[in-house]
């Protein structure tokens, strides 16, 4: 029986960059790429990056300021792969190309400084070492750097909510990046060390459940760790989103909430990386709805949820990150929302930087829930 397509290149299994040979001429995820949506440029869209990398391999272009600049425009949000019928790992291929660029010393200079900070301090925000966990317990909660330095209210509220339903987690990764940032920018070794350090803490405290505040952490300790760095959580440890835990408690009647009167015309923003982990987004919506009224829905939501800019772009191309944040807020505005709600500390931080320019407000979901506890 004859085949309808060429055999898959076996080298693709070991060399992630070869995925670009599949993606370079495929346009099937063009419509979901947030960077392509903002820039409208083919060269800054999934097939554009794939063709650029594939062409560099073929000697048609070299890595230089222009081509490296294009390569670093990818948000590494995973929308392309999440919407690919054949699950082409293009984001990993782009990151693998960035790894090569970094090793060749051709990445933008500020990124090396950033990587040094991540390697030394574990975060890009403060010259402070991560706080070591104290005590031991079945349940750990990963704090990270964004909840520590950028949006601490989320951590405070989330721990309060968890306590109400009888969960008192051991805090791990306090002040340490989840590894995504370094990985995304092409610093694989730094990413490896950051994730390995958190995994070691989880093992040391004896946790069987690792709770996280944001989809970004689910991605970092799940697919990213496994696919890009060959790391995995200690045997038997279950990774869970705090929103899922709270939603289960709400459904079970363990969490009682008052209606929030000030919440007229609000929209829920699926946090960055929601789509790539296949999250339905039902749990945070149900939690939000328990405060009174269904949230308004963005056009770019759920399986097509665009990132809000809380990606490595914040450091490599800040203007692009802000454009993405602005696009989320404008999307919400078009649906009639004045307030956007989300739970991820990184998303909250960047959205709140842009929102005042548009006359909008940003509310943390955990804080909102905690403020309405009965």
Partner 1 sequence: MYGSTFGHQMVQSELEEIVGANYVRADEVSRLVYSTDWSWMPQMWLDRGQPTPQPDFIVHPGSAEEIAEILRIANKYHIPVVPWGGGSGTQGGAAPVYGGIIVDTKRLNRILNIDEKSLTVTAQAGVIGTQLEWALNERGLTLPHYPASANCATVGGYLAPRGTGTISTKYGKAEDMVLSMQVVLPNGEIVRTPVVPQHAAGPDWFRLFLGAEGTFGIITEATLQVDYMPESRLLRAVLFSSLTDALEAGRLMMTRRLQPFVIRLYDPASTASVVHEILGYDFEGAYMVIGFDGDPDIAALQEQKAMEICVGLGARDLGRERGEKWWAHRYDFYYPPQTLKLPWMYGTTETVTTYDKIEALYWAQKRAIEETYRAQKIRYIGHFSHWFHWGAMLYSRFIIEQPPADAQEALALHNRVWNTAMTAVIDNGGMINEHHGIGLKLARFMRRQYGESWPFLLRIKETLDPNGIMNPGKTGF
Where does this chain bind partner 1 (CB under 8 A)? 1-6, 8, 21-23, 25-32, 40-43, 47-48, 51-52, 55, 58-61, 64, 66-67, 70, 84-86, 88, 299, 304
Q: What would the two tokens of residue 270 be?
A: 């699926």
Smallest separation, CB 295 to partner 1 (Å): 15
Q: In terms of DSSP bridges, do strands 266-268 and 339-342 run parallel, antiparallel, or are they unpaired?
A: parallel
Smallest separation, CB 64 to partner 1 (Å): 8
Q: What would the two tokens of residue 15 be?
A: 């060399």
The strands making up 209-212's β-sheet, listed across from edge to edge, are 170-174, 139-144, 209-212, 238-241
Smallest separation, CB 265 to partner 1 (Å): 18
Nearer to partner 1 among residue 86 and residue 134 (C-beta) = 86
Nearer to partner 1 among residue 207 and residue 296 (C-beta) = 296
Q: What would the two tokens of residue 272 be?
A: 């960055």
Residues 370, 160 contacting (CB under 8 angstroms) = yes
C-alpha torsion sign, points 23, 313, 14, 234 = negative
Measure the CA angle with vertex 43, ends 38 and 47; round to 5°. Answer: 100
Residues 138, 208 contacting (CB under 8 angstroms) = yes
Residues 366, 291 contacting (CB under 8 angstroms) = no
**Integer Cα distance of 363 and 216 in angstroms:** 18
Smallest separation, CB 297 to partner 1 (Å): 9
Smallest separation, CB 288 to partner 1 (Å): 20
Smallest separation, CB 308 to partner 1 (Å): 19
């Amino acid at each position: 029986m004859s085949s309808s397509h060429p055999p898959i290149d076996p080298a693709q299994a070991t060399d992630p960059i070869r995925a670009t040979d599949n993606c370079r001429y495929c346009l099937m995820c063009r419509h979901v790429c947030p960077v392509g949506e903002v820039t409208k440029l083919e060269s800054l869209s999934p097939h554009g990056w794939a063709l650029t990398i594939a062409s560099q391999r073929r000697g048609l272009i070299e890595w230089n300021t222009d081509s490296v600049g294009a390569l670093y425009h990818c948000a590494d949000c995973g929308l392309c792969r999440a919407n690919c019928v054949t699950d082409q790992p293009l984001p990993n291929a782009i990151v693998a190309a960035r790894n090569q660029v970094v090793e060749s010393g051709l990445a933008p200079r500020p990124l090396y400084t950033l990587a040094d900070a991540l390697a030394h301090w574990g975060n890009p925000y403060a010259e402070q070492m991560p706080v070591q966990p104290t005590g031991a317990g079945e349940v750990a909660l990963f704090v990270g750097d964004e909840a520590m330095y950028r949006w601490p209210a989320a951590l405070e509220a989330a721990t309060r909510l968890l306590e109400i339903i009888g969960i008192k987690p051991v805090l791990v990764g306090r002040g340490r990046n989840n590894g995504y940032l370094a990985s995304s920018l092409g610093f694989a070794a730094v990413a490896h060390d950051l994730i390995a350090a958190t995994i070691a803490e989880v093992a040391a405290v004896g946790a069987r459940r690792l709770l996280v505040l944001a989809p970004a952490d689910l991605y970092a300790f799940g697919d990213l760790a496994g696919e890009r760095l060959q790391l995995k959580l200690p045997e038997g440890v279950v990774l869970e989103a705090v929103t899922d835990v709270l939603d289960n408690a709400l459904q079970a009647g363990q969490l009682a909430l008052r209606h929030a009167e000030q919440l007229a015309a609000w929209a829920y923003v699926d946090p960055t990386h929601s789509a790539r982990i296949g999250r339905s987004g039902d749990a945070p919506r149900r939690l939000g709805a328990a405060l009174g009224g269904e949230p308004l829905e963005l056009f770019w939501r759920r399986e097509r949820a665009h990132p809000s800019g809380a990606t490595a772009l914040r450091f490599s191309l800040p203007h692009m990150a802000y454009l993405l944040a602005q696009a989320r807020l404008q999307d919400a505005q078009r649906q009639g929302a004045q307030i956007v709600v989300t739970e991820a500390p990184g998303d909250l931080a960047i959205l709140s930087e842009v929102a005042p320019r548009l006359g909008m407000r940003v509310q943390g979901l955990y804080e909102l829930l905690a403020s309405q506890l009965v």
